[in-house]
Chain A
Amino acid sequence: MSLTHQDVARIAKLARINVSDDEIDAVGAQLNTIFDMIAKMQAIDTDGVEPMTHPQDSALRLREDIVTEPDRRDAFMAIAPQAEAGLFLVPKVIE
């Protein structure tokens, strides 16, 4: 599979990565080498092998339902670019 100029632009946009027009070809070429490797892996016969979602074949450990986190708002707000009235402030985002 080979990514087009448009595919790369779209992926970059979805990932919020600013890729300029002259960079797109180079990034596309790098992505295509990754896809080539995936294509090789796809060719391997995995019949009868249970699909894995994680390299380790173990189960998730769970925690008890208890409140353990204290309120550390002041500490978090102190290093936020902007905060007011207990809220983090960000550029306006109405869709």
Chain B
Amino acid sequence: MKWEVVIGLEVHVQLSTVSKIFSGASTAFGAEPNTQASAVELAYPGVLPVLNRAAVSRAIRLGLALGSNINRKNVFARKNYFYPDLPKGYQISQMDLPIVEGGHLTIQVGDEEKRIRVTRAHLEEDAGKSLHEDFHGMTGIDLNRAGTPLLEVVSEPDMRSGEEAVAYARTLHSLVTWLGICDGNMQEGSFRVDANVSVRPFGQAEFGTRCEIKNLNSFRFLEAAIQYEVQRQTELIEDGGRVVQETRLYDPDRGETRSMRSKEDAHDYRYFPDPDLLPVRISEAQIEAERIAMPELPSAMKGRFMSEYGLSAYDADLLTSSRELAAYFEEVARASGQGKLAANWVAGEIAARLNRAGLSIAACPLDAGRLAGLLARLVDNTISGKIAKDVFELMWESADSADAIIEAKGLRQITDSGAIESIVDEVIAANARSVEEFRAGKEKALNALVGQVMKASKGKANPAQALEILKKKLTA
């Protein structure tokens, strides 16, 4: 039987505020345990939550970027459960009236674009951390993370493969960092993904029973966990079993998901509106102010790169994966006047070198202006494409301009036909066999001869000119 995979994702986006969602305690990562836990996070009697304006602003910006409805009135609710890293006994979240509803994210999978619908995004507080290392048989509680603002972004079950799920997660990740509402640091838990995965026979309208895989903190784990889970579910059904709806954990060391033992009433959260917090009202003026303060969105920029510079959807998508990369590309494209060429070099050489060196574009040793200088010499035929790669290497290792390197190393392309002619003469004299073969009708022999001319000129001859002159001399 052919199976269809159905995936929906819930992403916890940690908002990049300096203070907590309901108190003035710091959210800085990596502080000594419990030094950033105030009486609010500790749930002292009599304290009250006061909502952070910056968390609301960030949520509105994501809503606008996703084309969502911003609920002018939204309401906080209590999600009740007992766990020691949540001293209040409830998490403040949003249930019936979240701040953001609807919208969509467009993802690029290979050459295909696909629209993934977003159900909602709601504000909530993070919980603290439980440390189960042995403290005389007890559990240690660190409440620094408690109260950190989260925006939980819930998608519709619109993804049909692990690849699509990863593309969605990556696109959302680049969007939230692009907007500057999240630092995107996955190791530090700033962007955590839960995947709802089910399978059904192809053509069946109803969904199969789903399992939720919790807390995937890398794209690689997300893909591996989905792959494992799909195989587990299809094998289970094919062997006559049935999938039980449950929460599972991915174990990266074993590469498998396993059931989290959970109590039967673990999901009875008894939500109700939090009487400590009045409804949040959002004015038209604030929405407009947020809209104006937002940068050009990656989807808009992608479209512009395609129409303005003639880039393919794939290249435009890659170059808009981060704001820094897009700005770098655009600076090169504008300074050199060569959009397509700039895209090839930025997505090619630059991306490869950065990747090898483990650097981000912000730390690129070759600035956009210098790269544009190199492309200009390539376009005006001062150097060949092959020499350009050599110059690129030298530029990467130094602070010199392309012109300085070309002059110092004498790499200027030979375009003087007299000079090329004399090299061609030498090559013809030294390669009688290739000349013979070409005259006997073997076109390929000509390429070998051009190669010899390039070699004899140390790559400096203009290859098109060399070919021209060779042809003329051999057919004369």
Contacts and interface: CB of A to CB of B under 8 A. Distances in A.
Interface of A: 10, 13-14, 16, 53-54, 56, 58-69, 71-73, 76-77, 82, 84-95
Contacts of A58: 278
Nearest to A75: B39
Contacts of B42: 76
B3 interface: no
B277 interface: yes
Contacts of B80: 14
Nearest to B268: A14
A87 B131 contact: yes
Interface of B: 17-19, 23-26, 32-39, 42, 50-56, 75, 80, 82-84, 97, 130-132, 135-143, 260-263, 265, 268, 270, 273, 275, 277-281
B280 A60 contact: yes
Contact of A76 (B37, B137, B275, B278): B37
A29 to B, nearest CB: 21
Main secondary structure of the interface of A (DSSP, over half): loop
A72 B84 contact: no
B261 A64 contact: no
A35 B318 CA distance: 59
A60 B74 CA distance: 10
B278 A65 contact: no
B34 A73 contact: yes
A16 B97 CA distance: 28
Contacts of A71: 35-36
A85 B18 contact: no
Contact of A63 (B51, B130, B135, B138): B51
Contact of B281 (A60, A90, A93): A60
Given A68-B19, A86-B33, A95-B261, A59 B278 contact: yes
Contacts of A62: 50-53, 56, 280
A66 B135 contact: no
Contact of B37 (A10, A65, A73, A91): A73
B279 A14 contact: no
A89 B18 contact: no
B17 to A, nearest CB: 5
Given A53-B75, A59-B281, A60-B51, A88 B23 contact: no
A88 to B, nearest CB: 4
Contacts of B25: 67, 69
16 contacts: A60-B279, A62-B52, A62-B280, A65-B19, A66-B19, A67-B26, A72-B39, A73-B35, A87-B140, A89-B140, A90-B138, A90-B141, A91-B139, A92-B139, A93-B83, A93-B139
